[in-house]
Amino acid sequence: MKTYGLIGYPLSHSFSKKYFTEKFQNEGINDHQYELFPIADIKSMPDLLSENPSLCGLNVTIPHKVNVLCYLNEVDEAAEKIGAVNCISIKSFEDATYLKGYNTDAYGFEESLKPLLGPQHTKALVFGDGGAAKAVKYVLEKLNIQYQVVVRTTVQGAILYSEITPEILASHQLLINTTPLGMSPNVDTFPEIDYSLVGPGYLAYDLVYNPLETVFLAKAAERGATIKNGLEMLYKQAEKAWAIWNK
């Protein structure tokens, strides 16, 4: 039996477990299983590996995407530049286990974003500067899209929501929410910008996928913007993880 799983804490809801369990069932893959491993302290990682010798791959979520790095033998180029890992391949040899880290969030975001980009999307406003923003910023740099990070409390290199002028909003027609604002159960929250200045030609992308249409996306759509939630990104990063594990 080959085992795959998700590490993070807490793990009350898991897209990954549902996705891979259904995938194994639908494709008749009977010797694979996907489990949840809620570990509060990343120092439990060696014990997790020794107690589960059938592990072949892991997904990584909050709060371990950064602190898991020191337990890896190798990190691929994208994950190294991003500074965060959300996928680990595990190769077991006779006397050793080799762990390599990847960031499939970047792949999922890039593949779901590119088809929507127009010539006007040369500058982006990125709401939030947490872990999820790391992959987003990496992709924007790769695509030569300039970006301005927007936060609620002062951070070096970012501006506050109150500092978004009409001129800034007019010149940044790609709007990306990397925060939990609008995520269930806090569905009434949203990035506080002047949506009356948003219009056709704008692209609003929300990494949140529950609900499928957040207030942020609804407000942008009302003004004629193209909108996209994070569901396709989630599926694409899962497909990429599966490809990595089966190299």
163 vs 125: CA distance, rounded Å: 12
> Do 134 and 83 touch, CB atoms closer than 8 A?
yes
Contacts of 239 (CB under 8 A, 6+ apart): none
Question: 206 φ, ψ to 5°?
Answer: -120, 120
Q: What type of residue is 28?
A: G
Q: Is 2 assigned a catalytic role?
A: no
Neighbouring-strand partners of residue 227? 204
- Catalytic residue selected from 17, 65, 219, 228: 65
Count of Cβ atoms closer than 10 Å to residue 89 Cβ = 20
Known catalytic residues are 65
